[in-house]
Structure 1
């Protein structure tokens, strides 16, 4: 028959000579439960209880139906599907198949046959039954029921092994059994059946002292653990060993002659299994040095060393391991073992640990007849043969810790290097394994690797090749594939390749070298498919996030999970090296992985995609509004937006500083989500986000972005058919234009807003528009024209009862008067403003007013007081995070200090100003400061 069902190890379906992994862990769990009861129905409630125990998920029945449906779909893809079926009846679900197709049922049948057969026939049946065991039953799966059932199966397995041993002992195979029985005695130290066989085998092999020692050790363990003595059978054996040298029970039978085909031990053979050293290895010096530090606990220390090299697919884990291993061969004189574990090899199931152990034991010189049939026995013999050796074991492409644990030596002197797309945290916890999280290559090393493939001279002269390197985002496999495409291409074809790699829609298609192992999409798919369902869903939804870098709370809204649950899911994705937590609470996805996630997200229904991103947009709308209120409470009360009812309560920001920090961290995401909302024509979200961001953009000097945002918000307000919102948005657009120095562009918008507010009878709108007009006239040096608008604004704020607006208008009036040379009146206006601003704790207004007073004092010859006032302004601008005005204040402080002949203080202030101007891309101001620094003796101009 061509179909087999395997439970005794990994749960797989064996079809046509290959193993098929039947889906996710939970789906395999469902199939395993049906296999244990082949041809007997399991009710829905029983299945749910055995899969999830006492805490099933809310939609457990629906989830179970989906697993059954997928298993049926899998059946339809396999040959010989007529040999089995999944049937539903009123009694539940049944796996219908010949029981001999299930390895567990066949194991039990063979064991029963052996118990009623002749010695020679029984030995064959036992060997056939034990050969079915490839590892722990249901490997990699867990549930309360499976864990308990696994224990009972392992007890069955031990019973059959011991029955088989009895036959071999009767044949005189005691010497062959000693290694396996020693391992069993270590694993089952209180089992008297095991102890009897072990002690008898030792005695018959001529190791009388060892046999007596084993008995004494057992007696001590039984007394300490259970308070009892060994049973009568063991006591009788012990007595006979002490007093009878001719006892037939103890006399060894003559061992059978070995068959001609049986392999013989080759103790002098030293395995050298490492693949060839990688050619053209580039960089990674820091990581190689880290591996050196991890391996300080290898030869000569008191524990075997283990190092895990984790990282995303294609990042170069195997090359790094081989490079390090070949560099350190002299440290391992007893040889090197290598196994490809196929943890994430597309189309190839993970290698069973028992199969790896068999190969390792043969390499270490074990003869075929002494290799136990089960994984546990093989692991024990492997640990025995590795004792006292100094060897390197390289386990490549591991799936999980369970696959690796049986392959670890247990004594000092050995080093195990493991590579995996999972971080294998269990090895770190249980074995203290060193961990290397392998990142992508930095730009310089990427360029060197690519140049080595295609030629340095060509790389330096072809701009398209530099673009290709950038598009590979530091991933070594991507660089290798791109280099393979680029070698020998003429310039026009190179430019076409560079265009395909620059375009996110075609980049993954271009990074395909035509084979499974050199196709990035297949590489990422194998990691995605290995995830449990919840993590796989989360990975797909991450492809909808408009930005690569998101915080935990934003991701919780995107995934529609609690923060605690989101953190757990992200930990799974981190373990699988599909996301990276690059800062506390913030997660990042590599560019190329993100493209694959986007493709997976695109397969979701359009309505589901929009619903998901709307959740994220709602998060940013509500949080940005809350942060804006904390950042600038005096300039948010007038927002004309209708009340927003967020789907989740936004966090409370303790102060302006925490709100500013939130904006700093989230600004790239806010910008991207606004652009997404604009493309989807989510007009309300566009308006809300723009209003919440305007203070942050002003304080950071992001004038160009502010103008673009307000222009889009004006279009959105028009689309919402909200005249009042449109008028206030037009006013804000005009202010943004004025802040960028585009006064002539700002004036028409202000005049139009003034007309609309007058028609609507909107006193707040009229007041703020007069204030804005006054500020524009000041910036145009039309100070006399500004005064009537300041007067209108002052009257309006007083009628509105807005003391903060009133105080800021007093300061603006004071500045205009000072620029007209009316210093005394200007100072009086500022001195009226300060108490109001202090009372309302308006840091922005206080800073601006101190700046005006400083200018007045400087112009009137009070340099010391001017210096103090500028320092007060600087302190307030820094406290509120207004880097834009901070830069201007540093520039003026430098001028005042230069006038006082404080050259050092002046240079320091101008340097700070220049650096801030550079960060804000204010080119003209940066050039002015550069000139001041080049000629510090230049006289200051206080009129600036």
Structure 2
């Protein structure tokens, strides 16, 4: 297994040269950490076998270089762990802890192991431990907020190594080997400055350079900002920056003083853009996000982001299209500056502009896949060129690169509570775009969380129709992943919400889903009863196709219960409805099921006649696979009736049909409407 990165890495500024990517300093810490890997643990000293993976803790404040040190340690020892490296970030850029369930799901995805949508944290943790049980791998957990997060992700094998990065101790996890970071040593700090501004200004005034390092207390990000400030002012001496820092006084940290200095040195428009970046979801920024927040052109936003990266205010994220990450240690400073300089109404307006831009990008992302839809093409051509994607591949790459930010935007919009209309539009378009590019199955884990957000908004705003849709979607995922009892609870709640909204679609779907859940649970009486209720509604609305399907579901429930007479009546009713609606293929399939039930009921002659009729209708429908299956069933029935010659003829016919069928026939497209639909959102598309 190769090195797997999950989410983004943390702030790799200490110990790294921003331009060349070389690690600096931390020689003593690295030596101690490497020695801790080999050192006997408490269990070994007590004569017991270590029950879990060895845990190394790198503790330090944000921006102290803890992530960079962890990355360098992993790089040096990776050769001892042939199953590779897994990385997970356990906090968002603003410091919000990432749920252990989300981190476990990301690690399982990196291991290419299934992670059922909607599964609990305990279930996913168990799946992760099982996946790592026979592996010798490194798990790097960055920005851990507490011991609970780390404990949920610990492998139950001493063959794995866990490297945790946190601001403090992981109390509660046994035998943790901590390494606490301070500032960089003077030599490494000067080398970091040299790589940012060159050697001349440091060589001509080494005392001032050392004084600047001392004023920064060796804090790596502070040194990066100092280097960025000097790099932007080639005529300024190191002593000039040191004097300005001293003029700022001793209030705050070196990082906060340097940030204030850099912020004040920006042009007013750039400074405002920088402050508004604190609103970027998941701390990820691209040109569209900055453009929408600041209300400027995309070209101007792109140039401004490049300038911020040169100053050390942003870190480029290697992906296509380009985007940047706000260092976690700078996020509180950006937020404080925004609250101090911007009115709340302006911040809310900027957030609304960003969400509106995201909605339009998602519309374009989905529309570019609908090449056969004239309305979608017309809608796409009506969008500004900056919002259009050149190809479906480009749209898919954008969606994959921006997925953490898009999901973060949905969570932030719902948490805000003041932009629920935009939040609903955003979530509706996010669902449609993800289904279009990923498919309902692959997108289900993320969509489960989105549907929960839809449910939160619907309950908060008193929207019973949307509540019913969200509950149906969540129930469908629960049912597909084996949580049938939980799905049944959701379906019943959806039925209540649908009735409150007077929505026949929601109530009909809910009643049928309740019946399906009872069928799955083996309660065939209740299943048939609920299917019957749904059928009565479909018949009252003259919805023939749905009524025929429900006749079949009622017959299926009776078949499972052994009531073959009722089952035959159900399938005959389905055949009659399909005949009236002119659906030849559906009529053939219903006849096929009727023949099956007749065989179960001990009526092989009737089954034979019905099956022959089904073959004729399947031939008219040009359904080769159904014809072949029916011939095989006819062969079995003929053998049961003591006619082996006829059985051989039918088997030969089935083989010829399957042999004549074109190879590589594609299966029918996956029906995603029920699983992923968010109804009652604004019709704008």
What TM-score bracket applies, with the shorter chain setting the length?
A: 0.3 to 0.5
Over alpha carbons, which structure has the higher Rg?
1
> How high is the TM-score relative to the length of structure 2?
0.45
Q: Normalising to structure 1: TM-score of the pair?
A: 0.34
